Structure 1
Amino acid sequence: MPSADENRELTSTLHLGLRSVVGNSPADLVSELISQATEEERAIIEGVLSGDNNSAMVFIHRGAQKGSRFLVTADGVSIGRSPESSIFLDDVTVSRKHASIEKAGTNFTFKDSGSLNGSYVNNESVTEKVLASGDEIQIGKFHLLFVGSKLGEK
């Protein structure tokens, strides 16, 4: 007869403490990002905000890679701990193939890929969500800010 230790689950879900995003509207988060950006970054952000909605950007604004930015095109991006991911987040709290952002019509949609620790958009656990500019995505320890051409619109 197996002991209790032998029947133990080898994996478990880790729920990280989420910071409250109450009081930070999408416009406030984007304004804060712009105010802290370099002149070059400011030009890029303003270009995306005034663009034709065929591309967007994701900025890491909290976590080990703070300041990193990634272009999201109509082809979409993969997010994960795998070095093959378009957005590579090197931390054990991130699954190898954690999530993706895909273009569907005029919108960009965030999709969790069945990750162990889950994904959050604006502090809400999600498996799929249409993104608006200023939405905050949390994957593991990383907080990413989505910037698209439509501020706070879906």
Structure 2
Amino acid sequence: MFPEIVVTHEASMMLRSYTLQEGFTTFGRYTDSEICLDDPTVSRDHGAFLLRSGVLVVEDHQSSNGIFMNGVRIRRRVLFQGDRLTVGPFEIYVKQATVPSQDLAA
């Protein structure tokens, strides 16, 4: 089972779930982003999730308005289950953050 995130929008309460794969998963306003966050406060290439060796990391791609965790702007951070990120009007909840060891061996 791979890490899963849930994205909600503050106004529409839109809810989407994404399962992240090994490597980079980009997010931003750009329609070619793997996770498209369509809002003018979100940069076209806002950031990315990186999954490597079972560790999930989020990194900001020098976005205009940043990525926030617990009200603090972050640039790069290891994520854990239950973490909540804010990107513009979107909240990203980390439902599961790491790949269980039996999945790594498969």
TM-score (norm 2): 0.82
Q: Percent identity?
A: 24
For structure 1, which segment, 136-145 or 118-127, has the greater mean C-alpha deviation from structure 2 after superposition?
118-127
8 Å Cα contact 1:62-1:144 kept in structure 2: no
Question: Distance in 2 between the 1:66 and 1:57 partners?
Answer: 16
Structure 1 runs (4+) deviating above 3 angstroms are none
1:61 aligns with 2:11: no
Q: After superposition, where does 1:57-96 map in structure 2 within 5 Å?
A: 57-63=4-10, 64=12, 66-96=14-44
Q: What displacement does 1:76 show? A: 2.9
Q: Larger RCO: Structure 1 or Structure 2 (Cα < 8 Å, ≥ 6 residues apart)?
A: 2
Hey, what does 2:55 align to over in structure 1? Answer: 107
Residue type at the aligned position of 1:75 = G
1:126 aligns with 2:74: yes
8 Å Cα contact 1:60-1:67 kept in structure 2: yes
TM-score (norm 1): 0.58
Task: Name stretches of at least 5 consecutive residues in structure 2 with no aligned partner.
Answer: 99-106
Task: Name stretches of at least 5 consecutive residues in structure 1 with no aligned partner.
Answer: 1-50
8 Å Cα contact 2:68-2:85 kept in structure 1: yes
CA RMSD of aligned residues (A): 1.6
Question: Distance in 1 between the 2:30 and 2:42 partners?
Answer: 9
Counterpart of 1:141 (choices 82, 89, 102) is 89
Q: What count of residue pairs does the alignment treat as equivalent?
A: 97
Q: After superposition, where does 1:17-32 map in structure 2 within 5 Å?
A: none
Residue type at the aligned position of 2:75 = T
